Structure 1
Amino acid sequence: MRKEYDVRKIKLSPSVFAADLGELKNQIKELEESNVELLHVDVMDGHFVERMAFGADHIRALKSMTDIPLDVHLMIECPEVHIDSIAEAGADIITIHQESTARVLSCLHKIRNRGIRAGIVLSPGTPEETIKYLLDDVDMILLMSVNPGEGGQHFLNSTVEKIRNVRAMIGDRDIDLEVDGSIDHETIKPCYEAGANVFVSGGYLFKNIKENTEALRKAVR
């Protein structure tokens, strides 16, 4: 995957957390037909964030259902404990929160040493300057445009300036810049114009997969 992966390409990463699990196979088929580039999988532990969702067994099941690369977002405390099981389950990308461990660099190296793309995530309240020392050790930077693991939130407009700042920090490095939280046909455009190229969309996209996937793509053409 690493040889074929293009960090310059605009990518949609639908969040499986918003899927109808009773219709998951059918919805994944629709995502495949819509040519989405990634499938976003949130792993939540009920500690780092309030909710609980998905784990290695679920990732393994998803991997058996689709060839769409799995973009796994660890919203968990001490991710270093779970990296091996998540990697073995079939993750293609693993992102960890800057706020979740004191061993960030070690975690990123552990992920990359398995031949998997590694990324760092910033919650809204975490300044972008905190990841400057990691820029040569990541393949993806994920900026949260809502507070992670909480429902019913609106897109934080301050994220746009943060995207712009991080894109400038990235420079000519081969790093994807992803944004996650209340992404729809209106919020995607300012994020794209600020420099993001990977977009996680959940509730909006799964309301009508084919129509809303096209609406997202149209907004950034």
Structure 2
Amino acid sequence: MTTFALISEGITDQIILERMILQICSEIFEEDLDINPLQPLRDATDSATNAPHGGWELVLEYCEERVADALASNDYVVIHLDTDEGDHPNFGLRLTEQGNERSYDHLIADAIEIVAARIGNDIYKAHTERLLFAISVHTMESWLLLYFFKRNEPKNSINRLNRLLAKADHPPLQKRPRRTNNFLRKLGARNCWLSKIGNTVSACLLAD
């Protein structure tokens, strides 16, 4: 059995990542997959079991303090971060340069460097092949907007997504576990894929 640990900003992010991992890995691994949400923790009803339970700050904190434990008990560790709060001093990711928005590649690369620094150089270098990064520019909803509607609009993505869903007579996406599961079941007929760049998994969704 191949095991994946998830370190993410929120429970609904985990649900989306789980679906993506299961879809891509079903064609790669012959054995069963076991996905272990570690941050935030949740129970069988998809309720959070620790509070406060989400956000980028707790992702970075977990990477600094507990990622070694995740690596010890799992084959791979998937680390998710949104870049929308990158300008926060405690995040330290510049979203613009000389008044211009930075490229996705640069944002993703710098976000990975920030996480790697929290993990620690020795651990990061020793386990590079097992650390998979899901960096969404700027939110997980930006991925869904790009995938389902081919709209590359990373700002205010959830509102843009819900307006397009309404036009297509679909219910809006709400950031609740059950609603997210229902959303993916109804609209997720096509596969969502994680695109591998080097040794990282980036925030690219590839249509069929």
Give the TM-score normalised by structure 2: 0.34
**TM-score (ref. length: structure 1):** 0.32
Largest Rg, 1 or 2: 2
